[in-house]
Each structure stands twice: as C-alpha cells, then as structure tokens.
Amino acid sequence: MKSGTRKEGFWGYFARGIFASRLGLLGAGITTISAVLIIVTLAMTLMGMEFGAYQGLITYLLLPTFFMLGLACIPLGSWLAWRTARKKGGSEAVPRPFVVDLGNPAHRRFWGSIAVLTSINLVLLLSISYQGYHYTESTEFCGKLCHSVMEPEYAAYQRSPHAHVDCVECHIGSGASWFVKAKVSGLRQVWGVMTNNFSRPIPAPIDDLRPARDTCEQCHWPELFHGNSLKAFEKAGDDNKPTDSKVTALLLHVGGRDSKTGEYHGIHWHVSRDNLVEYRASDRARQKIKEIRVTRPGGKTENFVREDLPQVQEGTEWRSMDCIDCHNRPTHVFETPEMAVDRLILKGLLAADLPSIRDAGLAATKGEYTDRKAAQSGIRAALLAYYKENNPDFAASSTPAIEKAADVLFEQAYAVNVYERLNIGWGTYTSQLGHRNDQGCFRCHDDEHKSKDGQSIGQDCESCHSILTEDERRSEMNSDLKSYLFLETKKEE
C-alpha cells in the first residue's frame, strides 16, 4: 500500500456511492425532486388550488411512489459502487469490520445526518400516506379518477338522495378486511381501465358487494317499527292538459318490529332477524328466481320452486335476502323515458303549452343514436318531424320553441340516462322497487313459486300497500299528500 493512503470501509463507499454510481445519483435526484413536488402540491391543496381531476392521483400516489423508488436506488447505487471498487481494488478494497463509534466525531456526523434525513423522510412519507389513504377513500377518487368508466354512476350519484354519503360507506364500509379486499379488487379494475378491457355496461348486481347489514343498516334500521308510509306517484296528464297531473296515492305497509307484540309486519318482514329468506336465481342478474327458502322462528323451513324457469347452475350458493334485493338502485338511479319526460313537464322545465309534447317528447328521446352528437341532432330532428307531420301550422310558426324543447329533452332527460359508448340505454339499469317494470316484487310474488304441499307465494296487493280512494285523498289524506308532493319536488330541486 502506498504511503499516505488508507483502507476505506464500506460506509465510506456508501457515503460516496451516491455520486460514484449513476443509479445512486439518479435516486438522489428523483427523491429530491419528488419531495419538493410533494410539498408544493400539498401546499397548493391546503390553499384550495386545483389543477385538474388527476391532482390527487399525482399528489398522493405517483409522487410518493417515485419518492420511495428514489430512496431505494440510493443504497442500491452505493452497494453497486462498493462492489465495483472491490473488484477493481482486490484485497485493498475489502471493507473493515463494521464499527459504530459515537465517540468519534466523524461517526457522529455521519449517523446524525442519517438520523435527520430519515426523520424527515418518515414524517413526509407518513403525512402523504395518511392523506393518500383518505384520498383513495374519497368520492373524488371513486367518481373522477376513472371518469371514462364511472361517469354515468357518478352523475347519478350526484343527483341522488345519498349525494352527501361517501361511496366507501356503502361499497366498503368499516374494517380492515373489506378495505384490503376493495383495494385488491381495485387494482384489477385499474388494470382493466388502462388496457381498455372492461365490461360495457358495468354488470349489475355487483357480485362481491358487502352485505347490507354491514353498510345500509348503519343508517337505516329495519328493526324500527315504521308502520304505514304515504307514497304518491305523480305523472303528467294527457296531451290536452299535461300539467294536470295524475296522482296515485298509496299507503305502503313498510312495517318492522311491533314494539308491543314483538312481531314483524309489512314489507320489512323479509329482512327481519326472526325470519331468514334465501333464494337462488337461474340468471346472473337475479331476475329469474328459481328457488326460495324461508326459515321461520323455531327452525321450520319451507321451500318454494318455480318449475318453468331454467335450473340453477351447479354450485350456486343461497343468497340471504337483504336491502339491496329491493332497493337495488338507492343511489345510482336511472329513469325510464316516461319518468324523465313527466319530470320535465311537471317541474316546468319542458314547455307544457306545446301540443302533444308528452307523446312527441317520448318518441324523440326513445330513438336509438350512435353518440351524443347524433342524439342531440336526432332528438331535434325527430321533434320537428313530429310536429310537421301532425301539426304543420304549429311547426311552421313555432320552430324556435320546438328546438328549445328538444334541447331540454336531450340535456335533462336523454344525456343523464343514456351513455352510448358504455352501452347504457333506456332500461339497462332498472329499479326493483315495486313492480312498475313487471319485475321487482313479481320475481317472487307471482303465484308460480310453490312448495311441495301446494302453497304458493301470492300476489295479494293489500299485503304490501293500500290504494287510497278518491274520498280518502280529498279528506284526511289530502293535506298530507300535498305536503308530500311539495317536499318531494323541493328535494329533487
């Protein structure tokens, strides 16, 4: 060994390795730039500044990933530099035994620097990880990040009764296990979006949705005895007087547990803790219910089968009936054409003085269009053609009014319910509440599901609701009905 030289140890190479190795230098650069950008974007977020839908993705996911990648490159680069020096220097480059001597000023400076840098990194990583966790649980993450896929669901969510409830409250709920399941499933979904390989439309129902007892019942409790609930269905009148609405008033026997008798009554009997209702369907959409099994208090079980439906696939498990089997669209609500046009007429958004506007509007919005641009021009053309054929004088004198009505139909009926590029059309996502679409309750209550002893699940209307007579509406129920309709209108607005 030459005079004046000394054998340099591993930690000497580690300290110099950042600059001696391209990888270490690259890692230091990536870490430093990422840290600065993380601090800047966090400061912008705290000040309320936004720079697009991908702000959260960049701030809480991409930048921390690069930060940690850079940190990993630094020791790896140092180790590569040491290994290269050892190969070139032979025995002279073999490091001495690892010694930590805090009495040595050089050791104190080195380890003090390591401790300070590590503390800064830990504080930064913990802070960004905490914020990142909340970001991945946010509605913005669910609705905006995968905008091309989730646009219909997010738009429906924003105008729903649950618009102020975070998506994760229903789709994940509390607890670490379901959080992990959701994130693992989310990775698969992200890959599907990146490769443009996902279902169009998104299939419903969701197979791995958490049971409603763990989510819905955190706010809604079927055990509570609700008794009867007033429900009014309003639709536009005939073409001569479209604003002269037709109202059907029902008393829904919501029921629940009677605090006096302890027994369940009404519709919520289906999800009582005393009775277990299970079923197996012949199809994935759970529209063709083949078998129903009811277990009553004491363990007595009854099976009801509909013989004319296809057999259940082998291995299909029994599903316990819960809230989502009826309230299947509690947040992501899509209207029928009739519901959408009636809403626009009754709320005064669609000019009711246009002749036959309900029939004309329905005919225009029900048309099949290839994309948004074709739909907008097609609805306008269809509405103008309708009036030119059925009322040419009005069409000639009121073209601007007809075109305005067409724009309302497109923007506030068609565009919020139909998404051509995702194969979502009228009726793709239907509600199972009631039996307005000939499904819902009638999937089981059809007089066709029979037990071995000949008993059947009937269609007795009075078991679920009572239709109010005209006299009842005009007397004691009339004021409540008006109040109900007013509140419903204000809620939608």
Per residue in 306-364, pLDDT tens?
999 999 988 889 999 998 999 999 999 999 999 999 999 988 898 888 888 999 999 99
Domain co-membership, 167 together with 129: no
In this structure, of 34-38, 236-240, 414-418, the range with the lowest mean pLDDT score is: 236-240
Judge contact between 381 and 392, C-beta under 8 A.
no
Mean pLDDT confidence for 56-60: 81
Question: Taking Cα atoms as reference points, which of 304, 269, 253, 276 lies closest to residue 445?
Answer: 304
Domain-embedded: residue 311: no
Residues 364, 407 contacting (CB under 8 angstroms): no
Specify if 285 maps to a domain: no
Span 67-86, average pLDDT: 79
User: Are residues 183 and 86 part of one domain?
Assistant: no
Q: What is the DSSP string of 198-214?
A: --SSPPSS-TTPPPGGG
User: What average pLDDT does range 99-124 have in this prediction?
Assistant: 78
Q: Is residue 379 part of a domain?
A: yes
73/177 same-domain check: no
Q: Is there a domain that residue 293 lies in? A: no
Mean pLDDT score, 393-416: 93
In a domain, 173, yes or no: yes
Q: Do 83 and 47 fall into the same domain?
A: yes
Domain boundary residue, one of 114, 136, 158: 136
**Domain check: are 86 and 168 in the same one?**
no
Is residue 29 located within the same domain as residue 99? yes
Nearest Cα to Cα of residue 432 among 325, 356, 318: 325
Run of H or E including 233:
strand 228-235
pLDDT at 386: 93
Note whether 125 and 88 are same-domain residues: yes
Specify whether 125 is located in the same domain as 16.
yes
**The pair of three-digit structure tokens given for residue 483, joined into one six-digit string:** 């109040």
Residue 92 pLDDT more than 80?
A: no
pLDDT of residue 32: 87
Q: Are residues 127 and 14 in the same domain?
A: yes
The pLDDT confidence band at residue 98, using thresholds 50, 70 and 90, is: low
Whole-angstrom CA distances from 174 to 142, 171, 214, 218 are 17, 10, 8, 10
Give, in order, the Cα–Cα distances in Å from 100 to each of 12, 119, 285, 478, 490: 13, 20, 66, 87, 73
Q: Are residues 30 and 73 in the same domain?
A: yes
Q: In terms of domains, do 28 and 104 share one?
A: yes
| Burial class for 27, CB neighbours closer than 10 Å (0-12, 13-18, 19+) | buried
Q: How far apart are the first and last CA of the chain?
A: 87
* 472 pLDDT tier (thresholds 50, 70, 90): low
Domain of 42? 10-136
Structural domain includes residue 470 = no
Domain final position from 198, 213, 242 = 198
Domain-embedded: residue 119:
yes
Domain match, 59 and 165 both: no
For residue 4, the model assigns a pLDDT of 45
Q: In this predicted structure, what is the pLDDT of residue 1?
A: 42
CA separation for the pair 422, 415 (Å, rounded)? 13
Q: How many domains does the chain have?
A: 3
**Taking the CB of residue 152, how many other CB atoms lie within 10 A of it?**
20
Higher per-residue confidence, 249 vs 301: 301
